[in-house]
Structure 1
Amino acid sequence: MPKLRTLLAVVILVAFVVFVEAWFGWRALLSPWREVTPSAILAAALLTLFTYWLRAVRVYDYYRDAMRGRFLVCLRLTLVHNLLNNLLPMRTGELSFPLLMARHFQVPATHSVPVLLWFRLMDLHTLGLFAWLAVGGFVLGWWVALPVAAAWLALLPVARRLAPWLRDALGDPQGGRLRAFAWRAFDALPDSPRAFWRAWGWTFANWLVKLAVFVWVLGLFLEVPSAAAWLAVIAGDLTSVLPVHGVAGAGTYEAGVVAALLPFGVAADAALVAAVNLHLFLLGSAVFGGLLAFALPGGRHGPKED
């Protein structure tokens, strides 16, 4: 099955490249970049790098005891993890996180994998919040969207309070691999309300900046209502959780963006051009961040920075 899924990812990538060349021509599709000023590209790239810093802070804050004084190593880990996550098919890049955590900080996978799962659940919760605000505010008005968003946020403390009860309801953690992993996943939750909300705060800040930057970049190639732009950017990001998608998300990312734009009356051709160029910006930022990681310390037992 893994080989089949990898083959499908390669097939999707090749088919997408061929389709774009036959339908538009890559030269014509990339031509809008000529109208984008270097200052705009630089500003967007720097803000995207800032979101990588926010992600690293979330990890560093959570593992403050294990990482104390080695933030640059944590930042390097985050940049490499992000690069592999964006380039490798089927979310296989996620495997780099437990491997790098074990290599640089001696954190076993039995702890880092549940923590990564917890981070991803926070990411999905935050994306759901922004998606609802974009759609609800546009369709129903803010007087309906904001109370529902507040109720959605209230699920976080409720879920945290229920976590110990749900964990105990699972029974003996020695009762099988799935049950043992579920126990570790519950134990990965922050152990205090303050740590819990700090983790969510870093998550919220990261996604707010990232989505705003990507909405801005999308607007460089396409004029659409702000709700459509926000929903399109979110939809493109959510395609990464699909069971099958192209190498580096090629084809599937664009499909998510286009699918979100079409209900707003955007022409399919214009939507696809904007989606491809937005995706290229995303990949370019990830590659630049990955190259930047080589300039950062990464030794297993390197000296502390403070």
Structure 2
Amino acid sequence: MNSPVGASRQSWFGRNRMTLLTVVIVAAYASFIEWFWGWSAIIAQWAAVGVMPILVALALLTSTYFLRTWRILDYFPRETAGSFGTLFRVTQVHNLLNIMMPFRTGETSFPVLMRAEFGIALTRATSALLVMRLLDLHALLAAAGIGFAAASPNAVPAWFLWAAFLFLPITAFLIRKPLLRLGFRLFPAKAQGFLSEIENGLPANASAFARAWAMTAVNWLVKVVVLAWALSLMGVWPLTASFGGALGGELSSVLPVHAPGGVGTYPAGITAGAIALGAPGGKAALAALAQASINAHLLIIVSALTGTAISLPLGRRRQL
């Protein structure tokens, strides 16, 4: 029989195991950087870039969080009316947890926070989040497809496939009602309420869908351009390689396999994307690219922390 102290200790570890795992992995990552490159070399690369470009990049990256909040505000206009500050705080807490928790487990915080703050049903918030994540993934893949289509020896079919993929969300939106009707016919009665909440989580009409799609495109355009610019300042060339690196890093962040804090996976995504779009593969070039990818990753983490710090004074969470 477990003692109260032992049970309490087990309960504490159960509640905080993901946080502890994150701390251990981040600490191991920091130690690896010190052992392999040395933090002095990493900081020296920041110093070579200069303070002003870093501040501009941070400001632009942080601005994308406001656009994300606007997208969610537009998704739930009735429930979130007049609560931009509170919603910004929710999105920043969700974003930070999503970055720091492994295997996308931080995503679960979004529906929980939306229910706590705005009374939105878990299934509705979850379905809305799924749609937004699919739009995010589509925007990044479409951007990456530009580079591959441009480099393809068969230009006409490559650009045709890219255009078909680009308009895939429109097709999905147009056929959503027949698909839902089919689901209502096929699913048992107990699932009807769940399907109804999924339907409620979709954009209400074509105008709402167009706004969500446009805000998604602008958000990722700004983020990828800023990251590509930062990578180019850190010596990642040619310019196509810096864009490939930015896309690779961000793609790694929206895929299901995601390490705590993006440790390892985000820099690996940058490196893979840069090499795929023309970065040189020599030993010295790869070492420089690895350093640049780590610094770009740190830039993303600092921007998330900055956005969270800005959001903390905004709004107060209502008690359930």
Under a length normalisation based on structure 2, what TM-score does the superposition of the two structures give? 0.83
Q: Look up the match of 1:304.
A: none
How far, CA to CA, are the matches of 1:97 and 1:150 in structure 2? 32
How far, CA to CA, are the matches of 2:147 and 2:37 in structure 1? 30
| Larger gyration radius, structure 1 or structure 2 | 2
Structure 1 stretch displaced more, 276-285 or 231-240: 231-240
Q: Secondary structure at the match of 2:210?
A: helix
Percent identical pairs in the alignment equals 36
Structure 1 stretch displaced more, 145-154 or 224-233: 145-154
Q: Say how many residue pairs are matched.
A: 300
Which of the numbers 177, 185, 191 marks the counterpart of 1:164? 177
State the Cα distance separating 1:15 from its structure 2 match. Answer: 4.8
State the Cα distance separating 1:37 from its structure 2 match. Answer: 2.2
Per-residue Cα deviation, 1:75-109 (whole angstroms, up to 9, x for no partner): 22112211211122221221221121111111111
Return the structure number with greater relative CO, CA threshold 8 A, min gap 6: 1
Per-residue Cα deviation, 1:229-263 (whole angstroms, up to 9, x for no partner): 22211211222345544320111111111122234
Structure 1 stretch displaced more, 166-175 or 105-114: 166-175
The alignment yields a C-alpha RMSD, in angstroms, of 2.8
Gaps of 5+ in 2: 1-14
Q: Look up the match of 1:113.
A: 126
State the Cα distance separating 1:117 from its structure 2 match. Answer: 0.4
How far, CA to CA, are the matches of 2:152 and 2:194 in structure 1? 41
Summarize the Cα distance change of 1:4–1:68 in structure 2 as closer, same or farther, 3 Å threshold: closer
**Aligned residue identity for 1:124:** L
Matches within 5 A, 1:202-221: 202-221=215-234
Under a length normalisation based on structure 1, what TM-score does the superposition of the two structures give? 0.87
Q: Look up the match of 1:60.
A: 73
Matches within 5 A, 1:1-306: 13=26, 15-140=28-153, 147-170=160-183, 171-174=185-188, 181=194, 184-263=197-276, 264=278, 265-266=280-281, 267-300=285-318
**Aligned residue identity for 1:50:** S
Segments ≥4 residues shifted beyond 3 Å:
2-19, 138-149, 172-177, 179-187, 241-245
**Aligned residue identity for 1:281:** L
How far, CA to CA, are the matches of 2:67 and 2:161 in structure 1? 27
Q: Secondary structure at the match of 1:201?
A: helix
State the Cα distance separating 1:192 from its structure 2 match. Answer: 1.1
**Aligned residue identity for 2:188:** Q
